[in-house]
Amino acid sequence: MELRNDLPMETSQEQGTMTRRQGSAFWRWTRRIFGALAVAAATVIVLGLAAITIGPKLFPYQALVVRSGSMAPAIPTGSIVFYRPINATDVKVGDVIVFSEPGQPNTKVTHRVYAIGTGAQGKYFVTKGDANGAPDDWQIPAVGKGWKAIFHLPYVGYILFDIQSTYGRLLLLLIPAGLLALITLWEIWEGRREDSSPAP
């Protein structure tokens, strides 16, 4: 008895076409996912840069990048620290404040208030970095208003600090653009290969 199979069989050409279509769909989804991630990352970076550059000019806070380990582990190196204004009379022992280093007005120091003393010129703060073995040598006058740390974002400052450099901004533009271009070229190549395949 002869057995016949009248069911249609897929040819190798049809299988190849299906495989190419699946590959093309994969790259389309890859590009979409990567594009969404790139937009999200760029948005976070732009918001971070705005928070430390533009925000303090519009709202009553300050944001600085910590570049030393004197406050570790509470505030790791590379953190972005956010500060709110505070009257000197409201500062307490244990508060973390930012101030200009005596003798170097352009250098900002973020340390904890170790003690509050009184001298001939009035009250002053004795400060100390958490990682340092002894208090700082200077005394910070406890007058007027200053800035108290309220929270920090660990390690984010490394990224934002590097991005602010010329090379960092260039890489921020070139790397995502290059990857998207490669995915697009692959899709074009896949589409042409599919179109050039002979009809079944």
Lowest mean pLDDT among 81-85, 155-159, 180-184: 180-184
The pLDDT value given to residue 47: 77
Least confident residue range of 8-12, 59-63, 126-130, 186-190: 8-12
Tell me the chain's radius of gyration from C-alpha atoms: 30
Query: What residue spans define the domains of the chain?
Result: 13-52+165-195, 60-159
Alpha helices in the chain (DSSP H): 12-53, 55-58, 156-163, 166-195
Query: Helices 156-163 & 12-53, crossing angle to 10 degrees?
Result: 90
Give the right CATH number for 60-159 from 2.10.109.10, 1.10.3720.10, 3.40.190.10, 2.60.120.10: 2.10.109.10
The answer to whether the bond into 73 is cis (omega within 30° of 0) is yes
* pLDDT score, position 172: 58
Name the residue with higher pLDDT: 153 or 196.
Answer: 153
pLDDT tens figures, 91-140: 999 999 999 999 998 999 999 999 999 999 899 999 999 999 999 999 99
Which run of H or E residues covers position 84? strand 80-87
Residue 127 near residue 141, CB atoms below 8 Å: no
End-to-end CA distance of the chain: 32
Q: β-strand 145-153 against 96-101: which pairing, if any?
A: antiparallel
Scanning the structure block, which residue is given the tokens 């007005």? 105
Count CB neighbours of 7 within 10 A: 5
Record the pTM: 0.65
Q: How far is CA 33 from the centre of its chain?
A: 20
For residues 6-18, give the mean pLDDT.
Answer: 50
Q: Provide the token pair at 158.
A: 């490394």
| pLDDT-derived band at 184, boundaries 50, 70, 90 | confident
Enumerate residues 6+ apart whose C-beta is below 8 A from 149.
75, 81, 82, 83, 95, 96, 97, 98, 110
**What is the phi/psi pair of residue 164, to 5°?**
-70, -15
* Residue whose entry in the numeric block shows the structure tokens 């190196």: 77
Looking at residue 135, its amino acid is P
pLDDT(7) > 50: no
The answer, yes or no, to whether residue 83 has pLDDT greater than 70, is: yes
Per-residue model confidence as pLDDT tens digits over 15-74: 555 555 555 666 677 777 877 777 777 777 777 778 888 889 999 999 998 989 999 999
The residues pairing with 85 across neighbouring beta strands, listed in sequence order, are 147
**Does 30 or 1 have the greater pLDDT score?**
30
